[in-house]
Amino acid sequence: MGQCLRYQMHWEDLEEYQALTFLTRNEILCIHDTFLKLCPPGKYYKEATLTMDQVSSLPALRVNPFRDRICRVFAHNGVFSFEDVLGMASVFSEQACPSLKIEYAFRIYDFNENGFIDEEDLQKIILRLLNSDDMSEDLLTDLTSHVLSESDLDNDNMLSFSEFEHAMAKSPDFMNSFRIHFWGC
């Protein structure tokens, strides 16, 4: 009793997820369906986990050059629980607030996880964007120096979170591009 006949999810859980994420109920149920299809059968959805490889190979993330960073940021202990997946979908949904997207974008782009986006991170981002290692050194250094000269306000050759936020906050490009439609919902 208390379980929806079509879904394993309790109605109260659905309400709670809907209140705590930026997803609609329909989207949460779609994600629930797909999650159940991917995780081993017979397991309760709250205990099942997906590996980072499984999440990386989802159609929404398959061609994303930053999929490993996305998985690393959103997973706990190397695996994705259902709530981790929901959290990830919520950040990338259309209704998510800009501050949340900027926060997670900063974490994703911080490759060496030192709390700053420094030149090394920027170079890695550019190489990932172009998906090639044969970019000339001059081009890379030019580009990173341009980005830093535009956004680095206190001249320490790194982008702190405030500087990143300042650069991205009023850019609707960022809001438009930092969206993923998961699972064809």
Partner 1 sequence: MAQPPAFVFNILETPEDQGQDPSPYDESEVHDSFHQLIQEQSQRAAEEGLELRVLPQREPGPETLGASGSGHQALLGPEGVPDYSTATLRILASMPSRTIGRSRGAILSQYYNRTVRLRRRGSRPPLGGVGRSARPSLRLYDLELDPTAFQEEEKRTLLVKELQGLTVAQRDHMLRGMPLSLAEKRSLREESWTQSGKQRGPQGRRGLLPCCSRLRYACGLALHSLGLALLSALQALTPWRYALKQIGGQFGSSVLSYFLFLKTLLAFNALLLLPLLAFIVGVQAAFPPAPADSVPTFTGLELLTGGGRFSHSVMYYGYYSNTTLNQLCGPPLDGSQCTPEAGGLPYNMPLAYLFTMGMSFFITCITLVYSMSRSFGESYRVGSTSGVHAITVFCSWDYKVTQKWPSRLQQDNIRTQLKELLAEWQLQQGPRSVWGRLRQVAILGFVWLLCLGTTLGCTLAVYAFSELMIKNPVSAEREWELLALPLVVCLLNLGAPYLYRGLAALERHDSPILEVYVAICRNLILKMVILGILCYHWLGRRVGALKGQCWENFVGQELYRLMVMDFVFTLLDTLFGELVWRFISEKQRKKRGKPEFDIARNVLELIYGQTLTWLGVLFSPLLPAMQIVKLLVLFYVKKMSLMANCRAPRRPWLASHMSTVFVSLLCFPSFLGAAIFLCYAIWQVRPSSICGPFRTLDTMYEAGKVWVRHLEKAGPRVSWLPWIHRYLVENTFPIYLVSALLLAVIYLNIQVVKGQRKVICLLKEQISNEGEDKIFLINKLHSVYEGKERSRVGRAQEAEMPPTLPADERDAR
Binding to partner 1 (CB under 8 A) within 1-30 occurs at 1-2, 4-5, 11-12, 14, 16-17, 19-22, 24-26, 29
79 near partner 1 (CB under 8 A): no
Question: Cβ distance 9 to 46 under 8 Å?
Answer: no
Task: Fill in the per-residue mask, 112 to 151: x = in contact with partner 1 (CB under 8 A), - = not in contact.
Answer: xxxxx-----x--xx--xxx-------x--xx--xx--xx
Helices (H), the chain: 11-20, 25-38, 52-56, 67-74, 82-91, 98-109, 119-130, 137-151, 161-168, 172-177
Contacts (Cβ under 8 Å, ≥6 apart) of 119: 144, 148, 157, 158
Q: If binding is defined by CB under 8 A, does position 181 make contact with partner 1?
A: yes
Closer Cβ to partner 1, 2 or 41, answer by number = 2
Nearer of residues 44 and 153 to partner 1, judged by Cβ: 153
Interface with partner 1 includes 44 (CB under 8 A)? Answer: no
